[in-house]
Structure formats: C-alpha cells, structure tokens
A and B are shown apart, each in its own frame.
Chain A
C-alpha cells in the first residue's frame, strides 16, 4: 500500500488526504459547519427568549433594568478587542512569526479571562441581590416576580452557555500556545490557529447579539 503522492513532501499531511490544500479546506469547512450547528444550538435559546419577551414585555423590561449596562458594555468592548488580537494572532501564524503568535494568543486569552472576571462580578451582584432563579429569588417591583424570574432563567442560560464557550476557547488557545512553543506551526501549516480563530470570532458574535437583547432592548 503506497502512502503515495505528495505525502512524503509534508509531515503534516494525513494519509487519507491528497494534498495539504485539500486537508486544510476540509478542516475549515468542517469548522464552518460546526459553527452552523452552534448557531442552531444558541438559536433554540434565542427563539425561547423572543417568544417570552413578546408574551411578557413588562416583566422582561423590569428584569433587563436590573442588569448592569456598564459592566455588560465593558465586556462587549473586551470581546471586540479580543477578536482584534485573535485576528493578529492568525495573521502572525500566516507569516510564520512564532513569537508574535504566542504574544497575541496570550493577549487574547488574557482578554477572555478579563471577560470572565467581569462576568463573575456581575453574577456575584445577582447572587447578592437574590436575582438567581430558584427558591431564593426575590423581586420587589411592580411586576410579577415569577415572570421576572423567567427573564433571569433565560439570562443565566444564555450567558452561562456563552461563558462555557469562552472557557472552551481559552482552553483551545492554551493548547495552541503549547503547540507554538514546541514549534509545531509553520507558514505552510497553521490550520488549528485558523480554526480556533474562527471559533473565537463566533463566540464574540454571539455576545454581540446577547448584549443588546439582554441589556439594552427596552431601556429608556
């Protein structure tokens, strides 16, 4: 059985691909399809949110008013900036600049962690104010507490699922940094960097939708 073709020419080529181009475009297409499934995954939550917001506008506005727009806005800024550093990381990988790649990945990870810290502060506020759904949930305003709680159930589900994705992204970048330190990447092969880049941009975009939906909509 010949491993044949250009296999000998590149140590990165897996046995079942014809050339590096095919291998790379397959991986990128796979990532895009995966992101499509992610959109559907979040889509279920967005649909539920849209339905309940239409059914109960008052309680949802009340819930939305309890969120801290400044912290949410800060996190939006952090993630947008992290998308920028991620793009620079991919660019450095393209040029084969290993040190820059490690620098930008570390920067992106740091921003991801900063996002987490801010999110943690927000969630802690919610905990102190008894806005975490469950037996201890408490709401003082005019609106029906159980409907305001519904807002918070969706808020925590959506931001929680998003945060899980941020966490996975940070993990993936950590792994990239280890690989980069071991000099695994080169100008001709840096597919994992590109894939994690795509993923990270997706995570940012989800937040770009979550922020106005949860924090801004209906605010006067």
Chain B
C-alpha cells in the first residue's frame, strides 16, 4: 500500500463494479445537465448581450406549459431510473449471503476489534479470504463509529445499543484501507485499520487452529460466570425460559405480541430484559447493561445460538465448495 496518487479508487469487491456503474450513470447525467445549462447560458448571454442601454426592450415571454412539462418530466424519468437502480444495489448491500463467513466486530474509541469464528482475534487489521462472502456483525462499546472500506464500496454505521451488519466479498488479494467514517472524538482520524485479503489457502494457514476458544465457547464461560444457568436451567419450574433450541423460534410475549428470537432479541433480552417478557414468566431478570462489554454480549449470544444449531455444520470451517463458488 505505497502512497500513490490516484484519481479513481481500486475495485476489490463483488459490489464495487456495480456501485461504480451506478456512479458512471449519475456522473453522465450530471455532466450532461451541467454542460447543457452551461452552454445555454453562455450562448444566450453572448447572443443576446445588451449592446447599449437604449436597446429595444425584448419581447416579454411569460412561459410555456409544454416546456415546463418537458423539463419536469425528463428529470423525473432520469431520477426514477436512479432510484430503482440504486435500490437494487442497496437491496444486495443489505443482504449478506447465507453461507457468509461471520466476523464479530466491535468499535471502541479509537480501535477496531475483530474476532474470527475460530476465536482468533485481531486489532485494527482484518485478514479475510478472497472470493468468500464475509459478514460483519458489529457493535460499539461507546459512541457511533462507522466501518468503511473504500475499495469494497462498503460502509455501515456501528451504533451503540444495537448491532448492525454488513458484508463484502473481496475479489482481489491485497491490502486495503479501513476507515472509521463517523466522527467519534479526539482520535477519530487515527481509527484506521487495514483489510488484508489473502488467497483462501494462505488465509487458512494464517488462521491456524482455534486459540482461546470460539466465540460460542467464550460465551459458555460467561454463561456460567454470570450464573445465567441458575434461572435458565432447562428444568421444569425454572424461573427463566429454556434457551436450548430458542434461536430462530418465535416467542410469545406476556403482552400478547409474538417475536422471533433473533440476535437482536437475544441482545435486548440481556441488556433490557423487561422490554419483552416471555409469556408465563415473571419480569425478574436483572439488566446486564454495564456489567459486560459488547464483545461479551456477542459471545454470549453466539453461545445461545450454538445451543440451537448443533446439528448444523460449524461455521468456523471454510467450506471449500463455498470458496470455489464464491470465486467463480
């Protein structure tokens, strides 16, 4: 990543060319109308310039409904195209593929922390395999941050109190800038990282064996440490609902609503337990807000999720079929 002067950013993700295509269309429209106005103004200004103060008065032209209709209609069509095209790209930006390699991200004044599915951790550097869709599940320990990799045309706010997600699929190996793109205080401009895209084989070698436990294993330790099992004990008459097989199920609440037990629900149930009470239980669970870091909540949720997906293939291994499919 030698500093060199460029006029156009590198394209290194599946979505980058699609965003750029949109960019060229928008630039085309912009240049066309800017030139159109510029030429008309210059031509009129020169052709109809006032030669003397005694020039005869020009004809008072008050307007033309036809022209108004034309220059309302044509821009309307052009922005309509922009809207639908943009919405299509946005639709795909929002939806990580099912089989994506999931990395937990926490932003903190002023550093990025990453955790791979096998437990490997990184700070500010993020190693990823080329050709594999990578999903980032992100939380913030303090203020709003934003993860931005220009070469991937990828950007998402990282908001405290909730998780946001984004994804990318790198197409080229190399080292790319990762910026914090939401003002976050004194060293905002130093909250810069790198994304290192490697060949999948190299990446696996780099990743190595599990160290210090997967997020789910760390979550299990926390589950016991915070004595969650006292209430969520899976026995009949337990004070809290069982968490086995909970993830992905729908849950009936005390106030009659039904919600799906997704990551956001699990997070909220740990941090603000009284917001949604499961039918048949008392609102007795204390809030763990402030008692654990966002990273720990992520691990705990990973553990609860793992209690529901024991039959599914582990997400910690990169499936070769995914790799090849992703790279074609």
A interface residues with partner B (beta carbon < 8 Å): 55-59, 142-144, 146-147
The answer to whether A56 touches B283 (Cβ under 8 A) is no
The answer to whether A58 touches B287 (Cβ under 8 A) is no
B interface residues with partner A (beta carbon < 8 Å): 254-255, 272-275, 277, 282-284, 287, 289
The answer to whether B284 touches A142 (Cβ under 8 A) is yes
Q: Closest residue of chain A to B277, judged by CB? A: A58
* Cβ contact of A146, chosen from B255, B283, B284, B289, cutoff 8 A: B289
For the complex, give the distance between the alpha carbons of A146 and B291 in Å.
14
For the complex, give the distance between the alpha carbons of A58 and B254 in Å.
10
Residues of A within 8 A of B274 (CB): 56, 58-59, 142-144, 147
Residues of A within 8 A of B282 (CB): 142
Known A55-B275, A56-B275: A142·B283 in contact at CB below 8 Å: yes
For the complex, give the distance between the alpha carbons of A48 and B190 in Å.
35
* Cβ contact of B255, chosen from A57, A144, A147, cutoff 8 A: A57
For the complex, give the distance between the alpha carbons of A113 and B243 in Å.
56
For the complex, give the distance between the alpha carbons of A142 and B277 in Å.
11
Residues of B within 8 A of A143 (CB): 274, 283
Please name 17 pairs of A and B residues whose Cβ atoms are closer than 8 Å in the assembled complex, sorted by A. Answer: A55-B275, A56-B272, A56-B275, A57-B255, A58-B254, A58-B283, A59-B274, A59-B275, A142-B282, A142-B284, A143-B283, A144-B274, A144-B287, A146-B287, A147-B272, A147-B274, A147-B275
For the complex, give the distance between the alpha carbons of A146 and B287 in Å.
9
Closest Cβ–Cβ distance, residue B17 to chain A (whole Å):
39
Q: Closest residue of chain A to B284, judged by CB? A: A142
Residues of A within 8 A of B284 (CB): 142
The answer to whether B273 touches A58 (Cβ under 8 A) is no
6 A-B pairs with the lowest CB-CB distances in the bound complex, closest first: A142-B283, A144-B274, A143-B274, A144-B287, A58-B274, A56-B275
For the complex, give the distance between the alpha carbons of A141 and B275 in Å.
14
Closest Cβ–Cβ distance, residue A37 to chain B (whole Å):
30
Q: Closest residue of chain A to B290, judged by CB? A: A146
For the complex, give the distance between the alpha carbons of A57 and B275 in Å.
7
**Extra A-B contacts (4), CB below 8 Å, given A55-B275, A56-B272:** A58-B254, A58-B277, A142-B284, A143-B283
Closest Cβ–Cβ distance, residue B276 to chain A (whole Å):
8
Residues of A within 8 A of B272 (CB): 56, 144, 147
Closest Cβ–Cβ distance, residue B194 to chain A (whole Å):
38
For the complex, give the distance between the alpha carbons of A118 and B196 in Å.
66
Q: Closest residue of chain B to A59, judged by CB? A: B274
Select the residue from A57, A58, A147 with max chain B CB neighbours within 10 A.
A58
Residues of B within 8 A of A147 (CB): 272, 274-275
Residues of A within 8 A of B287 (CB): 144, 146
Residues of B within 8 A of A59 (CB): 274-275
Q: Closest residue of chain A to B283, judged by CB? A: A142
Residues of A within 8 A of B289 (CB): 146
Closest Cβ–Cβ distance, residue B68 to chain A (whole Å):
31
For the complex, give the distance between the alpha carbons of A143 and B255 in Å.
14
Select the residue from B282, B283, B289 with max chain A CB neighbours within 10 A.
B283
For the complex, give the distance between the alpha carbons of A57 and B287 in Å.
16
Residues of B within 8 A of A144 (CB): 272-275, 287
Residues of B within 8 A of A55 (CB): 275
For the complex, give the distance between the alpha carbons of A143 and B272 in Å.
9
Residues of A within 8 A of B283 (CB): 58, 142-143
Q: Closest residue of chain A to B289, judged by CB? A: A146
Q: Closest residue of chain A to B272, judged by CB? A: A144
Select the residue from A57, A143, A144 with max chain B CB neighbours within 10 A.
A144
For the complex, give the distance between the alpha carbons of A58 and B284 in Å.
13
Residues of B within 8 A of A58 (CB): 254-255, 274-275, 277, 283
Q: Closest residue of chain B to A55, judged by CB? A: B275
Residues of B within 8 A of A146 (CB): 287, 289
Closest Cβ–Cβ distance, residue A114 to chain B (whole Å):
37
For the complex, give the distance between the alpha carbons of A59 and B272 in Å.
10
For the complex, give the distance between the alpha carbons of A206 and B287 in Å.
35
Q: Closest residue of chain A to B257, judged by CB? A: A57
For the complex, give the distance between the alpha carbons of A59 and B283 in Å.
11
For the complex, give the distance between the alpha carbons of A74 and B204 in Å.
72
Closest Cβ–Cβ distance, residue B192 to chain A (whole Å):
35
For the complex, give the distance between the alpha carbons of A173 and B255 in Å.
47
Residues of B within 8 A of A57 (CB): 255
